[in-house]
Each structure stands twice: as C-alpha cells, then as structure tokens.
C-alpha cells in the first residue's frame, strides 16, 4: 500500500490518553478498579487478605503475583508487587511486570501507603513511565487500532500525596516526550520527511509557548556547505529547525543548546548501504526526535531554563546530484572536508548545525545522533556513548543517566584520535578508518565545538530495537530531560 504524506498530518499523531491521578486518602478502590499493592520485602501487608496471601506466596526472587477476589458481587483483580529494593532499577523491574498486568485492566488503584516520601515519589515516577510504555501502541498505519485496555491509574499515598503529585506531573511530561520521540521514530520515512519533522517541531514548540524558526534550502545551500552536500542528493527539501524556550528568570542567561541529527532516511548515498534491514534507516532521525521531544517535554513542564534545540534534517540519497567519494566541500566555519564515504553523513550535517549553534553562546552544547555502527559494537544496545570536551558537562550527563536509568558510558577523546582525520587534500576527511570509529566521529565534531562546553551522545545502539520488538525506544529523552531538570 502507498501512503500519501499529504494524507497524514501532525494532527494524526495521537497518544493513548491515559489519566494518572494522586489520591490523598488511603486506598478506596472504585467498583471497576483493579488493585495493586506495592510492598517491599520487609513490608507488613495491610487489611486486604488477598494481598496478604499473595505476598506470602511470593518465593525468593519473585516480584509480582496476581489473583481475583470477590468484591460486592463482582470479581476484582488484585496484585502485589514486591521489588527487590527501593533503588530505581529494582522499582523499574517490578513496575514492568506490574504494567504488563495493568494494561489488561480498565483502571488500576495503586497503593503506595507503606512507602516513605522519597520512595513513594520515585515509585510514582517509575510506575507512570512503566504504565505509559505498556499502553504505547503505534497503529496509525493499520486499518484497525487495538489500544490497550488501561484508561486510568490512581496512586494512593495517604501521607505523601503532595510529593507523589509532583513526581507524577514530572513523569507525565517525560512520558509525553518519550511518546512523541517514539512516534516520530516509528513513522514511515515517506511520511516522516524533513518537512514533516519541521512541521511537527513547530507545532510542538508553539503548543507549549515556545518559538520556532525554520530555515530552508536557500539558506542551507548558501551558508552550510557540509549540510548541503548531504541534502542535495534528495528531492526532499532540507530544513534547519531552531526552537527556543525562554524559561529562566533572566531571559539573557546563556542557554543549554541541544542539537539532533535528523536524517529521515539514510540510504548511505553513493556509498550505498547493503539492503538488509535498510528500512531501519528511517531511525536515523532519532537524535532529532529525541532533541525535539526533550525540548517539548521541558517546555510542557515549564522548566526555568533557557533552552535552544537545533535540528538539521534531510535525506541521504544516491541521486544524480548526490555527493561522491572524493568530493571536497566547505563547512559553515570555513573548514574544508574531503568526503571519503557518503555514508558518514551525520557528522557533515551536524558540524554545520554545531557552528550555527555558536551564535547562542551556549552554557552547554549537547548533540545527540545515531552516528556510528561502531558504537553498537562497543556498547551494544545497553548504553549510549558519551564523549565530551568538558569533564564537568560529561559528569552532569553521567549523573542524569544514573538518576534516570537511561544508561550512558563515557569514551575518551584524546587528541591523538584527530590524526585519523587528516586528509591529503582538505583540512579534514569525513572518516577515520575502522579503529575507534565512534571516537573519531566525535573527534570530527570536536573540531567545530572548540569554544563551548560540548558533549556528544552516540545513540546508534539505543534509540531503537530491531527484530520482533522493532520500534523506537524513546531514548535519550529520559536522559536529556533529567539533565535539563538538574540544570534548572
Ligand atoms: Zn550514514
């Protein structure tokens, strides 16, 4: 079936509308509610006998058990969740099991009454994100949508309602960003074009009171030689997206600037990729999706920071006008680049976006990109790669990673790696050979970020899953949003 992009607009993007609420009193389930008790290992189960029996039935290592009980002449599903501890990772593991059960119920009442304030707030965040992930569907291209049954979840934390409510509101903003990121990544590349990405970014920014500026082909061709060298091989018009949120008390305060790689389809260009799994190259805009979505979530949460998001977006295609291996192009800052492989295009569009970002005098400059297959070899699908020219910024990102559970691992950026980018014919070449491919890509970008604290996130292994569970993960939205919250 052919999809006409014109038929799908940003308005088609619809999330499952789930309602999350906090209740101040002790557990009082409605007639239709399923009930879930969160009971850490040393907890005393309350008056609910079914819950007490389930809790007692859990053997070593079990975290979840469910049953049905009669309540007012109706069957009521009851479950207990026993995390191994109250660290985030423990809660996440238990919440994922609970969410698989919860998504089959129409509404769930969750009892947090045995938790202290810190644990209740963290659990609220983790459970909102787990329930949100469990009910996420991407069915806009299917004739029939099959949404999850779960409509709402109420959290009962009698003594800590205010803290739970704050955590819940923050988690809802994060979930909004994660869902937006997944939707953008999953959307077919004939629909999610650079134009679509620009339209969506503008709509999302304006929805939350931020501003958008979109520059098109003429600006890019005239000023951004490296970016243009990638874009010119496609019939799709490239765009440079700029979003601005002024939330800090001082509107002139130096902003955090996020830059995201937005290749809406990467064929490799003239250095064509092999055909196998090439459909997954629609995910080569996940850096852009992550940056736009973290921006939207930050604006939705009205974070008191100044934030700029920059996204260069185009296709990488092998058209008659496409760049060839051996071509030399001039980047926005005057650096000449010999293109030895047209599939190393991400760094070509990013380097001009990073030069463009300098005008904002960023307090921190962070780019996110599905940049190198080498990063998947190094870190697999578990951790994103981090490289930085400033250790304080790297440490802040690592702290945000530990706090959000969105895993990150730092790789070195020693000056020696720059040697691999020396060209006989230009200032730089766009590939550094097989050794340390993730680092030499970052070393290339570092050439364009010398005047600012800068960090690079390689999300090639973490932005989407392949195989049966194929789909965008929503990463690195949790990491970026946590970083921005901590910055505020
Ligand atoms: Zn590529």
- Please report whether residue 276 resides in a domain: yes
Q: What is the rounded CA–CA span in Å between residue 131 and residue 34? A: 14
pLDDT score at 11: 46
- Same domain, yes or no, for 230 and 376? yes
The answer on 307 and 403 residing in a single domain is yes
Compute the distance between CA of residue 256 and CA of residue 298 in angstroms, rounded to an integer: 12
- What is the pLDDT confidence band of residue 5, given thresholds at 50, 70 and 90? very low
Comparing 17-31, 164-178, 461-475, which segment has the lowest mean pLDDT? Answer: 17-31
CA of 105 to the centre of ligand 1 (A): 43
Please indicate, yes or no, whether the overall pTM of this predicted structure exceeds 0.85: yes
Q: Is the pLDDT of residue 89 over 60?
A: yes
**Cα angle, residue 308 at apex, residues 231 and 202 outer, rounded to 5°:** 65
The pLDDT value recorded for residue 6 is 41
Query: In which band, very low, low, confident or very high, does the pLDDT at 45 lie, cut at 50, 70 and 90?
Result: confident
What is the Cα 180 distance to its own chain's centre?
9
Q: By residue range, what is the domain housing residue 417?
A: 192-487
For residue 267, report the distance from its CA to the centre of ligand 1, in Å: 7
475 given a catalytic annotation: no
Q: How far apart are CA 403 and CA 206, in angstroms?
A: 29
- Cα end-to-end distance, the chain, whole Å: 47
pLDDT of the residue at 474: 98
> Measured in angstroms, how far is the CA atom of residue 367 from the centroid of ligand 1?
16
Residue 449 has pLDDT above 70, yes or no: yes
State the pairing for strand pair 306-316/239-246: antiparallel
Q: Please check whether residues 317 and 400 belong to one and the same domain.
A: yes
How far away, in angstroms, is 365 Cα from ligand 1 center?
23
**Same-domain check for residues 163 and 248:** no
345 labeled binding residue:
yes
Q: Please, which pLDDT band fits residue 4 given cuts at 50, 70 and 90?
A: very low
CATH number at residue 161: 3.40.220.10
Mark whether 134 and 269 lie in a shared domain. no
Same domain, 161 and 295: no
Judgement on whether residues 218 and 147 belong to the same structural domain of the protein: no
Per-residue CA distances from 411 to 336, 383, 385, 441, 458 (Å): 27, 11, 7, 12, 10
Q: How far apart are CA 362 and CA 121, in angstroms?
A: 32
Distance 258 CA to ligand 1 centre (A): 21
Say if residue 339's pLDDT is above 60.
Answer: yes
Calculate how far, in angstroms, residue 155's C-alpha sits from the geometric centre of ligand 1. 45
CA 186 to ligand 1 center in whole angstroms: 18
Q: Domain check: are 136 and 200 in the same one? A: no
Mean pLDDT computed over every residue of the chain: 94
Q: Are residues 111 and 46 in the same domain?
A: yes
Residues 34 and 68 in one domain: yes
* Rounded CA separation 247/249 (Å): 7
- Could you give the percent of the chain with pLDDT greater than 70? 97
- pLDDT, average across residues 290-308: 98
Report whether 266 belongs to an annotated binding site: yes
User: Would you say residue 2 lies in a domain?
Assistant: no
Residue 347 among the catalytic residues: yes
In this predicted structure, what is the pLDDT of residue 442? Answer: 98
**Domain membership flag for residue 39:** yes
Distance CA 159, CA 27 (A): 12
How far, in Å, from the CA of 372 to the mean position of ligand 1? 8
Residue 322 lies in a domain: yes
Of the candidate ranges 51-60, 217-226, 474-483, the one whose mean pLDDT is the lowest:
51-60
Q: Write down the pLDDT at residue 42.
A: 86
Q: Is 455 helix (H, G, I), strand (E, B) or coil?
A: strand
Which tens digits make up the pLDDT trace of 7-43? 444 445 455 568 899 888 889 888 889 999 999 988 8
* Residue 110 lies inside a defined structural domain of this protein: yes
**pLDDT for 2:** 40
Selecting among 182, 347, 396, 485, the annotated active-site residue is 347
- Position 372 scores a pLDDT of 97
Closest CA to 127 of 93, 85, 80: 93
**Per-residue confidence (pLDDT) for residue 16, from 0 to 100:** 54
Q: What is the mean pLDDT of residues 239-258?
A: 98
Q: What is the CATH number of the domain that holds 209?
A: 3.40.630.10
What is the spatial distance between Cα 259 and Cα 369, in angstroms, rounded to a whole number?
Answer: 9
Judge if 198 and 103 occupy the same domain. no
Point out which residues pair with 391 in neighbouring strands.
none
Mean pLDDT of 355-374: 98
- Give the end of a domain, one of 152, 167, 182: 167
Ligand 1 is a single-atom ion; what residues have CB below 5 A from it? 266, 343, 345
Whether 178 is in a domain gets the answer no
Residue-level pLDDT at 101 = 97
Helices (H), 145-285: 161-186, 194-207, 217-223, 225-231
Residue 224's pLDDT is: 98
For the packed helices 286-300 and 194-207, what is the interaxial angle rounded to 10 degrees? 10
Q: CA 22 to CA 128: how far, in whole Å?
A: 11
The backbone torsions φ and ψ at residue 242, rounded to the nearest 5 degrees and listed phi first, read: -130, 120
Active-site residue, selected from the candidate residues 273, 403, 407, 465:
273
pLDDT score, position 30: 87
Backbone angles phi, psi at 105, to 5 degrees: -100, 155
State the number of CA atoms in the 13 A half-sphere of 180 facing the CB.
Answer: 30
Residues paired with residue 330 on neighbouring β-strands, in sequence order: 336
Say if residue 247 is in the same domain as residue 314: yes
């Amino acid at each position: 079936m052919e999809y006409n992009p014109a038929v799908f607009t940003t308005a088609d993007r619809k999330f499952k509308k789930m309602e999350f609420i906090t209740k101040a009193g002790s557990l009082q389930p409605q007639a239709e509610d399923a009930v879930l008790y969160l009971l850490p290992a040393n907890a005393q189960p309350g008056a609910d006998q079914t819950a007490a029996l389930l809790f007692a039935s859990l053997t070593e290592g079990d975290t979840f058990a469910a049953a049905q009980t009669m309540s007012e002449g109706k069957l009521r599903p009851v479950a207990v969740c026993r995390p191994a501890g109250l660290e985030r990772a423990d809660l996440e593991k238990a919440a994922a099991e609970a969410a698989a059960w919860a998504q089959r119920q129409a509404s769930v009442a969750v009892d947090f009454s045995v938790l202290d304030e810190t644990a209740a707030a963290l659990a609220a965040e983790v459970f909102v994100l787990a329930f949100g992930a469990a009910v996420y569907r991407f069915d806009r291209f299917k004739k029939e949508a099959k949404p999850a049954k779960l409509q709402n979840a109420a959290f009962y934390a009698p003594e800590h309602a205010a803290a739970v409510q704050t955590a819940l509101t923050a988690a809802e903003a994060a979930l909004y960003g994660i869902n937006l990121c997944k939707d953008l990544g999953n959307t077919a590349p004939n629909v999610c074009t650079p134009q679509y990405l620009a339209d969506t970014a503008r709509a999302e920014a304006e929805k939350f009171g931020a501003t958008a500026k979109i520059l098109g082909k003429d600006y890019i061709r005239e000023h951004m030689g490296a970016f243009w060298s990638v874009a010119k091989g496609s019939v799709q018009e490239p765009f440079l997206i700029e979003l601005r949120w002024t939330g800090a008390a001082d509107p002139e305060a130096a902003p955090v600037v996020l830059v995201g790689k937005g290749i809406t389809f990467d064929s490799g260009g003239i250095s064509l990729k092999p055909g196998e799994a090439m459909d997954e190259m629609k995910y080569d805009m996940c850096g852009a999706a992550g940056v736009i979505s973290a921006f939207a979530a930050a604006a939705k949460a009205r974070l008191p920071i100044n934030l700029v998001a920059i996204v260069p977006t185009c296709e990488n295609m092998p058209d008659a006008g496409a760049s060839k291996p051996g071509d030399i192009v001039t980047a926005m800052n005057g650096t000449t680049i010999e293109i030895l492989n047209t599939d190393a295009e991400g760094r070509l569009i990013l380097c001009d976006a990073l030069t463009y970002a300098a005008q904002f005098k960023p307090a921190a400059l962070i780019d996110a990109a599905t940049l190198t297959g080498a990063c998947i070899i190094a870190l697999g699908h578990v951790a994103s790669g981090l490289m930085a020219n400033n250790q304080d910024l790297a440490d802040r990102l690592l702290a945000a990673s530990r706090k959000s559970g969105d895993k990150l691992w730092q790789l070195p950026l020693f000056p020696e790696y720059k040697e691999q980018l020396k060209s006989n014919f230009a200032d730089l070449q766009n590939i550094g050979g097989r050794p340390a491919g993730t680092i030499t890509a970052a070393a290339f970008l570092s050439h364009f970020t010398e005047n600012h604290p800068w960090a690079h996130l390689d999300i090639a292994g973490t932005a989407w899953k392949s195989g049966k569970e194929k789909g965008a993960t929503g990463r690195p939205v949790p990491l970026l949003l946590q970083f921005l919250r901590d910055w505020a």
